Copies of this chain bind each other. A is one copy, B any other.
């Protein structure tokens, strides 16, 4: 598919791209700045009244810049054999902190609320895609090892993270500690799978255990997220600000009930829904039905106090090809094929924005640097306990532990959510802690691929 290009040519291309990027940045700088001032009022009013041109024009410029940053960042990271998603994130961190060296080209992006909404819709499509990729039957099929690995990989990092958080910020709310613990829980199935595929180890025992555990981790992580967000909204709506053991039980029950209820009811109703939709006239019906199904479940999750992405993931988990066999019989493609272009368009907005939100000036504070470092170490060590969950013999345990390290998307999503949650008027975690968490995610994800390659390719036969 991809043309072979010589290495020197590629290097030249990279230099050209870098130059073009810098040039574009500077060129846009003036344009955006003058425009920014002219439209400043409009951007503000855009949100309170329908307005023409100005409002949407800034959104278009912001999306364009974000997509350029995402694709250039992705390219450089893939060129360095790193995951593209990290390139989008690091690209976002870079352009989001250009103001530190005097360029405020990208500052206007931070002040457009619609970009925020587009990013959140992007992450809903991402989780919907992840859900579509994982099947309930696969979840039930993975062995006892995966289950034990997953549980170990949730419990140890959670308490380790909460402990580190408590050590560095003794004055913070207990929910902040729990959130940071939760950020350390979920393994990024995408990055590990990508590496295993690249080195042709996707059909090994290690791969099956890691991937199975990563998927279970996602689910357990989302349940933990559901519990914590539920607890925070309970605290916020309650008078006192405290939360009892009973409250936690109720929220846990609600979260599990939502998961099980959505999956059971959805499994029963979604074939009927798609059957009715397939009888409608018009175009794009499969896509719109799937999107509506996903959005309504996300909305329901939000209504009962969970994160919307929990609903999106459930929606993806529920939907299987057989549910829309009437559409397939009409010659329609699969939902994945339809969702992919929308995800290509909106998901980078999320990752670049996550990067843009990182305020590098936080790291002028030594304590935050230390927190970031210790958190990263906790994240790495926490997952090494995983390998104890493996019950088979002849499995490379070190590979399992390393394969579980990357936090990737899910960790970022948690960090993003926690930075927007509020208890008693104060954000649950502040921008410095947010920056530390993002750095932890970047480092764990950056170092896993080379480590994993080294461990698995060191000797062909696992210990």
- Collect the chain B residues with CB atoms within 8 Å of residue A31's CB: 303
Q: Mark A65-93, 1 if CB is under 8 A from B, else 0.
A: 00110111011001100001001000000
Q: Mark A47-59, 1 if CB is under 8 A from B, else 0.
A: 1101111111101
Q: Smallest distance from the beta carbon of A314 to chain B beta carbons, Å?
A: 14
Q: How far is the CA of A72 from the CA of B314 in the complex (A)?
A: 25
- Assuming the A-B contacts A282-B71, A341-B287, are A56 and B331 also in contact, with contact meaning beta carbons closer than 8 angstroms in the complex? no
- Collect the chain B residues with CB atoms within 8 Å of residue A303's CB: 31, 35, 57
Q: Smallest distance from the beta carbon of A332 to chain B beta carbons, Å?
A: 9
Q: Does A117 lie within 8 Å of B114, measured CB to CB?
A: yes
Query: In chain A, residues 281-339, which have Cβ atoms closer than 8 Å to a Cβ of chain B?
Result: 281-285, 287-289, 291-292, 295-296, 298-299, 302-303, 307-308, 326, 329-331, 338-339
Q: Mark A114-139, 1 if CB is under 8 A from B, else 0.
A: 10111011001000000000000000
- Collect the chain B residues with CB atoms within 8 Å of residue A71's CB: 277, 280, 282, 285, 288-289
Q: Smallest distance from the beta carbon of A115 to chain B beta carbons, Å?
A: 9
Copies of chain A in the complex: 2
- Collect the chain B residues with CB atoms within 8 Å of residue A10's CB: 279
Q: Smallest distance from the beta carbon of A110 to chain B beta carbons, Å?
A: 9
Interface size classification for chain A: 35 or more
Q: Does A60 lie within 8 Å of B124, measured CB to CB?
A: yes
Looking at the complex, which of A1-9, A157-165, A215-223, A371-379 is the stretch in contact with chain B?
A1-9
Q: Which of B5, B53, B296 is close to A279, meaning CB atoms less than 8 Å apart?
A: B5
Q: Which of B2, B74, B302 is close to A330, meaning CB atoms less than 8 Å apart?
A: B2
> Is residue A391 contacting chain B, with contact meaning CB distance below 8 A?
no
Q: Does A117 lie within 8 Å of B342, measured CB to CB?
A: no
Q: Does A47 lie within 8 Å of B50, measured CB to CB?
A: no
Q: How far is the CA of A122 from the CA of B339 in the complex (A)?
A: 16
Q: Which of B279, B295, B340 is close to A64, meaning CB atoms less than 8 Å apart?
A: B295
> Is residue A368 contacting chain B, with contact meaning CB distance below 8 A?
no
> Is residue A229 contacting chain B, with contact meaning CB distance below 8 A?
yes
Q: Does B292 lie within 8 Å of A3, measured CB to CB?
A: no
Q: Which of B84, B113, B302, B338 is close to A57, meaning CB atoms less than 8 Å apart?
A: B302
Q: A residues near B, CB below 8 A?
A: 1-3, 5, 10, 13, 16-17, 20, 31, 35, 46-48, 50-57, 59-61, 63-64, 67-68, 70-72, 74-75, 78-79, 84, 87, 113-114, 116-118, 120-121, 124, 229, 276-277, 279-285, 287-289, 291-292, 295-296, 298-299, 302-303, 307-308, 326, 329-331, 338-345, 348, 417, 419-421
11 A-B pairs within 8 Å (CB atoms) are namely A1-B330, A59-B121, A60-B124, A60-B295, A67-B292, A71-B282, A84-B282, A114-B114, A288-B344, A288-B348, A291-B345
Q: A71-B289, A84-B282, A284-B345 are in contact. List 9 more A-B contacts (CB 8 A).
A: A3-B326, A47-B48, A53-B302, A56-B124, A63-B291, A64-B299, A67-B291, A113-B114, A287-B344
